[in-house]
Amino acid sequence: MVEKNADLHMHSTASDGGYTPSELMKKCHDNGLTHVSLTDHDTVNGVKEAIQAGQALGMTVIPGIEFSTKVSGKSVHILGYGIDWQDQSLLDMLELQREQRRKRLDVILSKLKKVGIELEAADVLEFVDGGSIGRPHVAKALVKKGHVRDIAEAFELYLAEGKPCYVSKEKEMSPEEAIEWIHRTGGLAVVAHPVYYDLDEIIEELVQTKQLDGIEIYHRDHPEDVVAHYEHLTAEWESKYGRQLLKTGGSDFHHEDYGRNREPLGVTRLQTSLAIELIDQLQQR
């Protein structure tokens, strides 16, 4: 029987997840996971706590991050594994991004006011655990103040792209810039949930130029035909460009009550051997 005890995509309260890094690691352990990575959006603030908590529980925790980038008008997320999360230049850059998210919050609050919802920054910041401010934090505040029933409704009515209070980020880096930061800090770069983008040609270019190190093939939103598609493409690109690509995956867990994320932690499990392969490649860098 093939062991599937790895989940390399999850979020904590350091970004837009619902559990602290320690709580999340406890949930991982209780779900039988042995190899995990905390990949919070545009922050590494939860990595230290996750590593310490995970190690205490006998798990292998790979430091990670999920960068928000934009290409061809579409948001594309790039996962970074094994980065030096204490690199000062990385921390400085992420701090600038946090400042941009804080400004974005003010615009969201202004838009909410225009639709008759009074919400203060303090109401939102109550849910931010020192990391990046995200729309789920706004959603939590809306729930607490009684404006919506749950987080899913907050997104459906106000915060999702195309809804009246959605605000895009002021400036988003390109995939190439994100990959450069990941490599500069000793990590490996993987495109997250490619089914979201319909940008296979652009992903292939990143593979061809030896920038991208892998593809997140296994994800909760990848049905069997999509998995088969990216397994085929990955094999094709490996043969075509003469290089090995990482094949990663995870549940992209935030919280059981987060809208479309109403899936249990570890719902998408990666073969443990593939997680170990990632670790081996990191050690060779």
111-156, pLDDT tens digit by residue?
999 999 999 999 998 888 766 788 888 998 999 999 999 888 999 9
Q: Quick one: pLDDT band at residue 16, thresholds 50, 70, 90?
A: confident
Choose one of 159, 186, 203: the last residue of a domain. 159
Task: Provide the residue type at 160 as one letter.
Answer: A
Residues 66 and 34 in one domain: yes
Residues 11 and 69 in one domain: yes
Choose one of 159, 181, 198: the last residue of a domain. 159
Of the candidates 249, 40, 41, the residue with the CA atom closest to the CA atom of residue 49: 40
Residues 195 and 229 in one domain: yes
Residues 62 and 191 in one domain: yes
Overall average pLDDT of the 238-251 stretch: 96
Residue 251 pLDDT more than 70? yes
Residues 72 and 190 in one domain: yes
Tell me what the pLDDT averaged over the chain comes to: 92
Total domains in the fold of the chain: 2
Residues 143 and 118 in one domain: yes
The residues, ordered by sequence, that sit 6+ positions from 258 with a Cβ below 8 Å of its Cβ are 18, 136, 151, 152
Crossing angle (nearest 10°) for helices 88-114 and 175-184: 140
166 belongs to a structural domain: no
Overall average pLDDT of the 59-68 stretch: 96
The first and second tokens of residue 135, run together, are 């729309």
Residues 237 and 101 in one domain: no
Q: Are residues 8 and 277 in contact, defined by beta-carbon separation less than 8 angstroms?
A: no
62 belongs to a structural domain: yes
Residues 219 and 154 in one domain: no
Name the pairing type of β-strands 6-7 and 35-38: parallel
Residues 67 and 137 in one domain: no
86 belongs to a structural domain: no
H-only helix segments in the chain: 21-30, 47-56, 88-114, 121-125, 135-144, 151-154, 175-184, 200-208, 224-241, 272-284
| Longest alpha-carbon distance in the chain | 57
End-to-end CA distance of the chain: 31
The backbone torsions φ and ψ at residue 111, rounded to the nearest 5 degrees and listed phi first, read: -70, -40
Residues 24 and 147 in one domain: no
Quote the domain boundaries for residue 11.
Answer: 6-81+172-284
Residues 67 and 128 in one domain: no
Overall average pLDDT of the 2-13 stretch: 93
237 belongs to a structural domain: yes
Please tell me the distance from the alpha carbon of residue 244 to that of residue 229, in angstroms, as a whole number.
Answer: 17
167 belongs to a structural domain: no
Residues 279 and 217 in one domain: yes
pTM of this structure: 0.85
Residue 110 pLDDT more than 60? yes
